[in-house]
């Protein structure tokens, strides 16, 4: 059977980029301290995966371990607009996040407790992203109108 011509646009395997060394080091230190997130990276999309595609990344956040908050991202900005999404998973009330997440947009702190979409305009510093608690799984995703993920500020080695 001949290959379908648009099959390359249906992504079923995780072909994600390698996270920055600083992110990997922070995650390793969090695991050692006992304060970390249980998460499963699902799928990514970018120009490197499907020519011309926008940047997108998806992660299931299952649980927060330990007693301290867990910061997963540092403050940074992009030269593209970005949307961050947090979706609750409880069927009886999916609009409740059943979590408490600290998120910064510019110099303003927000405490996220409901399913939401956050628009971070290009060149606006956003994050850190700090998980205070997770009581039920959260689908977390980011989408940018750039073709590849990259930071304009907030670089980590």
* Residues composing the chain: 157
Which residue ranges make up each domain of the chain?
A: 35-144
The stretch 1-21 carries a mean pLDDT of: 83
* CATH code for residues 35-144: 2.60.120.10
Could you report the per-residue pLDDT of 126-143, keeping only the tens digit for each?
999 999 999 999 999 999
Phi then psi dihedrals of residue 29, to 5 deg: -65, -40
Check residue 1 and give its pLDDT.
Answer: 59
Name the pLDDT band for 157 (thresholds 50, 70, 90): low
CA-angle at 115, arms to 114 and 120, nearest 5°:
105
71 has which bridge partners?
130
Residue 27 pLDDT > 70:
yes
Residue 51 pLDDT > 80:
yes
Check residue 20 and give its pLDDT.
Answer: 75
Name the pLDDT band for 151 (thresholds 50, 70, 90): confident
DSSP code for 74: -
Report the first-to-last Cα separation within the chain, whole angstroms: 46
Q: CA 112 to CA 117: how far, in whole Å?
A: 10
SS3 15: coil
């Amino acid at each position: 059977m001949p290959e379908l011509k648009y099959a390359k646009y249906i992504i079923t395997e995780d072909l994600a980029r390698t996270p920055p060394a600083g992110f990997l080091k922070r995650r390793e230190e969090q695991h050692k301290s006992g304060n970390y997130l249980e998460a499963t990276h699902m799928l990514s999309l970018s120009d490197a995966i499907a020519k011309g595609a926008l940047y997108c990344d998806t992660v299931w956040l299952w649980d927060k371990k330990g007693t301290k908050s867990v910061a997963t991202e540092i403050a940074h900005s992009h030269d593209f607009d970005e949307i961050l999404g947090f979706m609750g998973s409880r069927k009886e009330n999916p609009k409740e996040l059943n979590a408490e997440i600290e998120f910064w947009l510019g110099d303003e702190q927000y405490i996220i407790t409901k399913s939401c979409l956050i628009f971070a305009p290009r060149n606006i510093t956003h994050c850190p992203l700090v998980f205070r608690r997770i009581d039920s799984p959260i689908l977390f995703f980011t989408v940018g109108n750039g073709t590849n993920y990259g930071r304009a500020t907030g670089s980590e080695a």
